Every structure is written in C-alpha cells, then in structure tokens.
Homo-oligomer: A and B are copies of this chain.
C-alpha cells in the first residue's frame, strides 16, 4: 500500500485514546493492547506527520498544540465512520438530509417555503449548507444540491428547475433615484452572466457609465442592499419573485433579459436515496409546479 495522506486508522485510534487518557498505559487498557503497541503507534504517527503530538513527561503526557489541533477532526471522523457503520444494525437512518444550495436561494426562496415542507414532512431533519464565497465546493455528505449555473456545466442527471430572466430591482422608496440612472447606486453580483453590462446589451445599447458598480459576491448582499434602499441591484426571477409580489422590491425599468444560468436539482441516483432525500425531492417537484418562478420565466 502506497504512502498516502491517510495514516492507518490503527495509529489514529491509538492517538485519540491516548489523548483522552493522557496515558499510553490507560489507553492501551481501553483498546485491549499493550502499552508498547500504543506507544509505537503514536510514535509512528508522529514520524508520519513529522510532528510531536505529545510532550513526554516522567509519568504523564501532555498534548502539544499540534496534537490538540488534530484531535477534534479525528473524533468527528471516527464518529462518522462509527455511526454509519452502526447504521447497518440500527434502523434510525433516513431522517437526515443535508442540502447544499447558495445562500441567496436559501434566504429568498427556500426560507419562506419551509412551512410547507414542515407540514408535509414533520419528521425530516434538514441541514442546509450554504457556502458563500466558494459555491463550487460540494459538501461531500450533502445528499442533494440545488445549483445555480449553466446547462452545459451540468451533468445529465441534473434536473432543470427554472428558466430565469434577469432585470434590475430596487426598493419602492428608490424609484425616483432610479430614474436618474447616471447617479444611481448600482449593485452587481460576481460569477454570473446577469450583469448590468449584459442587460444593456440585450437592449441593443452599449453600457457606458462613469460611476462605479458595487460588485458583490452573493446576491444576498446585492439584493439586501436594494431592499435597504441603498441602490439598484441586478436580480432574477427566482430570487425576486416573492419580494416583488410583496412590494418590497419593484422593477424601475421594464426590460428583462433571458439569463444563461438557471437552477438545477442534483440528487443521488434513485437506488441511493434515503427516505429523507426522496421526501425532499418529491416536495421540491411540487413546489416548482407552483407559481414561484422556479417554474418558468416572465420574459
């Protein structure tokens, strides 16, 4: 077996037990090994890492800073392996679902619909992971993902949830300021094609403006700024639908443009779905058939 980034579990277990007891002898007793074995495993691990994990004293050990840093992740990893291994004997699987989606979707679309999910699946334990500035990172234990992107970047299994249009939005109190475009404060969102420049392009006009545009890394920032009356933000159907219906946002200009990106549902293949995943996917499919603009565009 080639040397890799994963030390043997045997060494890691010896380290974790020793860290708990701060004693090779007591750890060995717990693991039903000899003190010598535990000592050697920890020594091997330290050599592998080229770091000392314990300070050896006459009759006691102290964790080094490196040792203390290492410990929590290892404990969680052991818990994960242990609990999923025990899942073969236990029956309490299937309730937990980890869903990954971007924070804007979570805040502006999902949050206001959770009641319907709850009414339908009161047993569901939902964990939402919302990476903000690194949305490409797929949480390895996320069972389902709602991803915003272009069709060609998606796998064949991805289910398309929407066709988006994009357009500027602002708070009602900003309507007058929006009519003075040159002086209005503009917000854009990075990492999407639905920018001010491309919006003007679809109007057959070049986009030239002397004032700067505030470029944000997530639509949460841009749209919240608009909601707060700080300016005009680019937005698209799914995120803006509820806010427009409520009158919290208005569209100061009539034009809207088809967007390259849309929302997709990425789910495990059918034979790998837990009850929680299936329930969520079923609920999601019903939700997109409601008028919420995860079902069609308004262009």
Contact = CB atoms under 8 A, between A and B. Distances in A.
A77 B80 contact: yes
Interface in A103-151: 103, 106-107, 111-112, 114-115, 118, 122, 124-134, 137, 139-143
- Range of interface residues on chain A? 35 or more
Contact of A76 (B65, B131, B140, B221): B140
Contacts of A268: 68
A13 interface: yes
A173 B253 CA distance: 28
Nearest to A115: B221
Given A88-B66, A118-B217, A130 B127 contact: yes
A44 interface: no
A268 B134 CA distance: 23
A5 interface: yes
A203 to B, nearest CB: 28
Interface string A261-299: 000000011011010000000000000000000000000
B115 A111 contact: no
Nearest to A2: B32
A81 interface: yes
Interface string A205-246: 000000000001110110011001000000000000000001
Contact of A127 (B2, B96, B115, B129): B129
A76 B80 contact: yes
A221 B77 contact: no
